[in-house]
Structure 1
Amino acid sequence: MEPNLLLQTARVATRYCLPNGHGELPHVMQLLDAYLDSFSASWTIVTAYERTKSLCCVQFVAARELAEVQDPFYKRWLLNRTAEDAARGGDLPAVRWIMESYLPVETVDNVTDVAAANGHLQILQWLYDHHRQRVRFGGVEMCGALEYKNERVVRWLRCHAVPRVECRNDVLRSAAKAGNLDVVQWMCEEFGLDGAAVLKVAVRCCQWETARWIIERFSSTGPLLDMYFAAHHGVLSFMKYMAARELGGFYTGTLVVAAAYGHLDVKWLHQDRGLMLTVDVMKEAAQDGHLNVVKWLFETSSDLCDSSVL
């Protein structure tokens, strides 16, 4: 029977064929459920939640699980996946039922990470209050919260779930990536981590304030840091800062990317850092329509404008 016709049949039966004034008829509802159920034999609770986001549907499927679903390892996987999906969407009632009714004593691995990354503080608080021993706190859940800029969650985790020793470098890296200077300072000053280890991450992710603090706080040695990303975004002040400390690496590609994105920083890169102007620099500026850069390049070196540029 076609799905729409099947549903219409059920609507007619419930509206016109049931007696009035007889209260609830659970046996009739069970028969209607069985009549309409064309999916529970092939669905798992993961499928049910992914497709419907309905706790009632998850409960319906869970009550009709087939024998092969009873394998304990498979059921733990179903528990974890469904809990993660519910936490991702901030669905606290679904998380509560999955944790307390589906497999009420099993550990759940990544639900805190997912809730933190998606900014669902109410789920973290409930897990902390009711199931702290079954989930992981003090791991890398702060990483997702940092990288997705969920500041309230970051503050809560700092108070309730300080990262364990083996997870702190990951948290420091995420803080540098996100430009959360407060957390970078906390990890370095409170736990003695080496901020220089994430300087390259801060520069690559354009977190200039964080990078400056790391440079000032830690004596940075080693290979020069490529200024490609600073040139890409036209952050001349940071390039000058790095040049003054002899920490910045300035290459032909630095000049090319500055021209490609229309930054007149090409003047400084050429005049102060001695980078050579090439036809590729002119070509990049011209094909992206950066007239000011093209004019300056032409005035500085007219032989850059060859047939390939035109």
Structure 2
Amino acid sequence: QQMRLAMQAAAKRGQLWMVQQLYQRHPAALTGPTAQAAGASGHLPLIQWVHETKRCLMNVDYYAAVYKAFEASASRGDLQTVQWLVRTYERVVFDLSIPAKAGHLEVTKWVWEQGRYRCQSGVADEVAKRGDLEMMKFLVEHSIVNEYSSAPDLAAGFGHLDLVKWLAENEKHRWKFTWNAISWAAANGFIEVVVWLHKNGWADNAIDVDSVAENGHLDVLEWLYEHQCWTYAVHAMDFAAMNGHMEVVQWLHENAVSTPTPLGFDLAAEGNHLDVVQWLHENRYGGTTQAMDLAAKRGHLEMVKWLHSNRDEGCTDLAMDQAAANGHLDVVAFLHKNRTESCTKFALSTAAGNEDLKM
């Protein structure tokens, strides 16, 4: 058993010389799992040695070792190994989606030319995410991908304008842009894609901009506002505050596009965005006890101090409990000294469970 495991480990690392040494001493150690490990290594000389030494092992479990070898080599663009596998195992149908998803056009074309392949669903989606225009052209023009795909929306959402344009102009596929295209492009800050989609009639006039604000894309917000392409932003300021996007918070406020709820204040405190919390405070926006509870939980001592000195909401027992559970001794000490709220047995039990003697 130890020799088998040793040979498998050597095969996994592609160490042909070690596998050969172990085989000379213990031929029985060369089994199916070792063949699969050799395949997964993608090391051609090792795969060829296993094939020549004990070919039957490559056929075990419906050619599992062969498939693993193809996956390893095709996913890294190793055309030489792919060619040897396809030519050697003529009864095996190989998965074209593996090199296609990885962006290896030369390997993809060669496997397709052999005429013995299958292609898993979802390959167009992955190609669209990467923005691989040449790969998409090849797959579509040769009718390799025919199933439903969100490729147009994904290309837009990942900011690949050239691919977006080609998909919009090409008629060989049946995919359509949906509302998600401009929504995802806006949320991810790809303003060039947003402008193009809107200009070419692929946009809905009612875009939810909460995600745009959450990700801090002020330029996109300004463009959408100017062109009246959104609905009222219900949680835009909350989400912007949560991630510390001060300029977005201020712009939303100045243009009366959105107003924060107490959630925004609380989440800004949790994220330790003191400048945002102070601005919300100065503009008469406030939070709840959750603000100090969450700040304490995260160990944000300066935030806790500021909230204690400037706000009236206070905190709950959760503040000290969660600070103790997370090992924030300085926060626990400050709360104990300055606040009237206490803690529960949870604080002591979690500190003991964490072996936190100082706590």
Q: CA deviation at 1:223?
A: 6.4
Q: CA deviation at 1:123?
A: 2.8
Aligned to 2:354: none
Q: CA deviation at 1:39?
A: 1.9
- For residues 308 and 39 of structure 1, the distance between their equivalents in structure 2, rounded to whole angstroms, comes to 67
Q: CA deviation at 1:142?
A: 4.2
Equivalent pair of 1:140/1:171 in contact (CA under 8 Å)? no
The 10-residue stretch of structure 1 (132-141 or 251-260) with the greater mean CA deviation from structure 2 = 132-141
Which consecutive unaligned segments of at least 5 residues does structure 1 have? 10-28, 66-77
Aligned to 1:203: 213
- For residues 181 and 292 of structure 1, the distance between their equivalents in structure 2, rounded to whole angstroms, comes to 37
Match runs of 1:100-119 below 5 Å: 100-103=113-116, 110-119=122-131
Aligned to 1:94: 107
Aligned to 1:64: 91
Which consecutive unaligned segments of at least 5 residues does structure 2 have? 8-18, 25-47, 75-80, 315-338, 348-359
- For residues 287 and 176 of structure 1, the distance between their equivalents in structure 2, rounded to whole angstroms, comes to 33
Aligned to 1:17: none
Equivalent pair of 1:48/1:61 in contact (CA under 8 Å)? no
Equivalent pair of 1:117/1:148 in contact (CA under 8 Å)? yes
Aligned to 1:40: 59
Aligned to 1:282: 292
Residue number among 147, 156, 166 corresponding to 2:162 in the alignment = 156
User: CA, structure 1 residues 47+249, in 2 after alignment: closer, same or farther (shift >3 Å)?
Assistant: farther
Matched, 1:187 2:197: yes
Aligned to 1:50: 71
Matched, 1:306 2:340: yes
Aligned to 1:248: 258
Q: CA deviation at 1:86?
A: 1.1
TM-score by length of 2: 0.60
Equivalent residues, number? 269
User: CA, structure 1 residues 35+235, in 2 after alignment: closer, same or farther (shift >3 Å)?
Assistant: closer
Aligned to 1:176: 186
User: CA, structure 1 residues 108+6, in 2 after alignment: closer, same or farther (shift >3 Å)?
Assistant: same
Q: CA deviation at 1:204?
A: 4.1
Equivalent pair of 1:176/1:198 in contact (CA under 8 Å)? no
Deviations along 1:246-274, one digit per CA (max 9) or x if unpaired, are 33242222111111122222223233243
- For residues 195 and 183 of structure 1, the distance between their equivalents in structure 2, rounded to whole angstroms, comes to 15
Q: Which amino acid aligns with 2:265?
A: L
User: CA, structure 1 residues 177+222, in 2 after alignment: closer, same or farther (shift >3 Å)?
Assistant: closer
Structure of higher RCO (CA pairs closer than 8 Å, 6+ residues apart): 1
* Structure 1 vs Structure 2 CA RMSD: 4.0
User: CA, structure 1 residues 201+281, in 2 after alignment: closer, same or farther (shift >3 Å)?
Assistant: closer
Q: Which amino acid aligns with 1:258?
A: A
Identical counterparts, % of pairs: 21
Deviations along 1:7-30, one digit per CA (max 9) or x if unpaired, are 967xxxxxxxxxxxxxxxxxxx9x
Residue number among 96, 99, 124 corresponding to 1:83 in the alignment = 96
- For residues 239 and 111 of structure 2, the distance between their equivalents in structure 1, rounded to whole angstroms, comes to 45
- For residues 303 and 120 of structure 1, the distance between their equivalents in structure 2, rounded to whole angstroms, comes to 53
User: CA, structure 1 residues 189+119, in 2 after alignment: closer, same or farther (shift >3 Å)?
Assistant: closer
Q: CA deviation at 1:183?
A: 0.8
Q: CA deviation at 1:181?
A: 0.7
TM-score by length of 1: 0.68
Equivalent pair of 1:138/1:162 in contact (CA under 8 Å)? no
User: CA, structure 1 residues 224+125, in 2 after alignment: closer, same or farther (shift >3 Å)?
Assistant: closer
